[in-house]
Structure 1
Amino acid sequence: MTTVVAAGRRVLPRGYADLARQLVIWFGFLFVYQIARGLADRHPARAFANGIRVIDFEQRTTHHLFELTFQNLVSSSSFLADAVSWTYWNSEFTVVCLALLWVYIRRHDAFPRFRNTILLANVLGLVGYVFLPTAPPRMFPWLGFVDSHRNGLVQLAANPYAAMPSLHAADALILGIVLATIVRRPIFRLLWVLWPAWVWFCVMATGNHFWLDILAGDLVALLALAAVYRRPIRRFVAKAR
């Protein structure tokens, strides 16, 4: 026991008590958030109407459904299909949790703002789910989309109409920006710079989001970053003048 305590003091920046407090904050928020997300507006007619509006907008602006093109591309390769499926299921929680833990231990000074940005983005996303329930592409099979996750792991209290905004996209952008600025090795910096684009591709290729959902998610991420990092941003702008 003494060895474990000593190891914790060496590795953990503020000891076991603070780590426990952070775990309570994160998993407590995650539990409440998932329940609230699951209880958000589930009215199918409204969600499908909003989904059709998204499709109409994309077809009018680009004359193409890129999500369908990406899904057809992925279906031609079992390796690519497994990769995008793994990314979809793990990028939102597994990768985010591991990133939070790494920043907490290795870059602790950056942790509070990083954590608060993730939390704020998810709260903003919940507002979107309440006021704008939207069916994802996979719920429009007559357009050629395939529901590749109908037999997959079902998230706790999942809301099938929580597509707008894409929090996969929002969290990926936050991770990409924050981690690219605090990791030291160039190769890891490059990987985090590329991470958001890969996640955006995956959530479209699995039929879970339209590109308009991703754009909305990116806006949510930028709003959260601007709110939490407003002082560092002001200092940076002041120095640049």
Structure 2
Amino acid sequence: MGETTVTTLEGREEAVPSPVADAAGQGFLRRLRTPRRPRLWFEILLIAVSYWTYSQIRNAVPEQRGQALRNADWIWRVENDLGIAVEQSVNHAVNSATWLIVGMNYYYATLHFVVTLGVLVWLYRSHPGRYAATRLVLFATTAVALVGYYFFPLAPPRLMTGGHFVDTVMVHQTWGSMASGDLKHMSNQYAAMPSMHIGWSLWCGLTIFTLAKLPWVRILGLLYPAATLMVIVSTANHFWLDAVGGMLCLAFGFAVSRVWYGAFPYALPRTVAVRGVEGRWLPTKA
């Protein structure tokens, strides 16, 4: 059904795709790619299931301790060759100020989730037309990070053998980090490359800077990933190059969204169409 047949010179019948079927298929794909108003219950369920799945896959990656430590030594040598291996100095300097490093420990354990969810809620409420495309950037960024965790296990600086880094959570007994203490058994300790603290914070920062109206809010958007970079290095949870990996993952996420929606998420209309009484889609007011 939906196809016609023609008889060839040899007398055989061949199916020819129906133009109506092709148009229907293209119409279905077009509907999938058209931004529409997100549904709250679906978004809550999607985010919860997606993060649970991400956590399960990330933690299911074999903890290849030996290879992860060898990779950490290699990263450290590369950074030394490049003249950017200052993580140890930063770690020790910040650790000497107890109030500062304790604050950074809590920053690392909480804001990664709190700010990201806050930006998603803000997009949902204020930029529904851009929400799905921007959310896709975040999801694609996180998904491709799993590839890095699987193929390039990496120990964080605090776990390096003979690295002389300070595990600031262990030393100061701060609460909440999945990276140290009693909670470390619930998280893959050798999934440091790429850094999703950087991937997510840069996603938040770019979104805020591009879409926010108040200048001081836009400035805070830019400062957030910069502060996060300082935190992940000071707490010895990541190398500088882990941050580069997170940025590359984010670039991949933007590319996926650009291909799917035909435009960068921030360039899409702020609002979405709504279905009228006659079933037609009508534009909403900005």
TM-score by length of 2: 0.72
Q: CA RMSD in A?
A: 2.2
Is 2:184 the counterpart of 1:153? no
8 Å contact kept, 2:229–2:243:
yes
Matching residue of 1:206: 235
Matching residue of 2:48: 27
Q: Secondary structure at the match of 1:149?
A: helix
Comparing 109-118 and 181-190, the one that deviates more: 109-118
Q: Secondary structure at the match of 1:144?
A: coil
Bigger fraction of residues in strand: 2
> Deviation string for 1:183-212 (max 9, x for gaps)?
110000001011111101100110000001
State the identity as a percent. 27
Matching residue of 1:128: 148
Query: For residues 234 and 124 of structure 1, do their structure 2 counterparts lie closer, same or farther at Cα, with a shift above 3 Å needed?
Result: closer
In the alignment, structure 2 segments of 5+ residues that lack a partner are 1-35, 268-286
Query: Which structure has the larger Rg?
Result: 2
The structure with higher relative contact order (CA 8 Å, sep 6+) is: 1
- Picking from 92, 97, 100, the partner of 1:72 is 92
Matching residue of 2:68: 47
- Picking from 171, 195, 210, the partner of 2:224 is 195
Comparing 86-95 and 225-234, the one that deviates more: 225-234
CA distance in 2, matches of 1:28, 1:85: 27
Comparing 74-83 and 99-108, the one that deviates more: 74-83
CA distance in 2, matches of 1:160, 1:36: 13
Is 2:48 the counterpart of 1:37? no
Q: How many residues align?
A: 221
**1:142-181 equivalences in 2 (<5 Å):** 142-150=162-170, 151=173, 152-153=175-176, 155=178, 157-181=186-210
TM-score by length of 1: 0.85
Query: For residues 49 and 174 of structure 1, do their structure 2 counterparts lie closer, same or farther at Cα, with a shift above 3 Å needed?
Result: same
Bigger fraction of residues in helix: 1
1:141 CA displacement: 6.0
Question: Which segments of structure 1 move beyond 4 Å, counting only runs of 4 or more?
Answer: 233-236
Matching residue of 1:186: 215
Matching residue of 2:20: none
Paired letter, 1:232: A
Query: For residues 69 and 129 of structure 1, do their structure 2 counterparts lie closer, same or farther at Cα, with a shift above 3 Å needed?
Result: same
Matching residue of 2:82: 61
In the alignment, structure 1 segments of 5+ residues that lack a partner are 1-12, 237-241
CA distance in 2, matches of 1:114, 1:86: 27
8 Å contact kept, 2:92–2:166:
no
Matching residue of 2:25: none
1:154 CA displacement: 5.0
8 Å contact kept, 2:95–2:168:
no
Query: For residues 90 and 235 of structure 1, do their structure 2 counterparts lie closer, same or farther at Cα, with a shift above 3 Å needed?
Result: closer
Q: Secondary structure at the match of 1:143?
A: coil
8 Å contact kept, 1:41–1:129:
no
CA distance in 1, matches of 2:176, 2:99: 19
Paired letter, 1:198: A
CA distance in 2, matches of 1:38, 1:177: 28
